[in-house]
Amino acid sequence: MTDTKVRSALDYCSPVPLPYQSQDVLTIAGIEPSDDRLGATQNDLVCHNPDGDQPYFNTNGTIGPYYVSPQAVVALIGTTDTNQSRMIPADVDELRVVLDKCKQHYPVAPPFSCGPNFYHVDYDSAGVIAGITQLWQS
């Protein structure tokens, strides 16, 4: 997973865009420590900005509830020793810690960091989040 591209809104607005629906990208407030509830808001994708800026995600509002599988596959943006960005495999507990520390402005243990709070999520057939991948905000 270390050579997985860090994705951004631009990837969903490219000439051959990745598929996108607003429930696919969430801003995550946190995950309850004792259960699988995830506090999050959906994001609209803005490809054609009248100001000419790059595409970006725009918070749409709280919709939910969302639930995350304890076994969800998680990938977070981290840095290498040479300060290169790369995707780092993680689990739900590590994501919970990163979210909580970043919300409180505490440092996060390397290789993780307090990066953009945008996550592409994949759902299983029951509507439970089975995959979470952090995205850059463009």
> pLDDT category, 91, cuts 50, 70, 90?
very high
| Residue 54 confidence (pLDDT) above 90 | no
> pLDDT category, 123, cuts 50, 70, 90?
very high
Identify whether 104 is part of a domain.
Answer: yes
- Total structural domains within the chain: 1
Domain coverage including residue 63: 9-135
Identify whether 123 is part of a domain.
Answer: yes
The total of other beta-carbon atoms located within 10 Å of residue 74's CB is 21
Q: What percent of the chain has pLDDT over 90?
A: 31
Identify whether 2 is part of a domain.
Answer: no
Identify whether 31 is part of a domain.
Answer: yes
| Backbone angles phi and psi of 124, in degrees to 5 | -85, -175
CA distances from 72 to 64, 67, 123 (A): 18, 10, 10
Identify whether 1 is part of a domain.
Answer: no
Q: Which residue has the higher pLDDT, 22 or 43?
A: 43
Identify whether 90 is part of a domain.
Answer: yes
Identify whether 4 is part of a domain.
Answer: no
Mode of pairing for the β-strands spanning 85-90 and 66-79: antiparallel
What would the two tokens of residue 68 be?
């995350």
Q: What percent of the chain has pLDDT over 70?
A: 93
Model-level pTM greater than 0.85?
A: no
Question: What's the rounded Cα separation, in Å, for the pair 66 and 58?
Answer: 19
Q: Which residue has the higher pLDDT, 8 or 68?
A: 68
Identify whether 33 is part of a domain.
Answer: yes
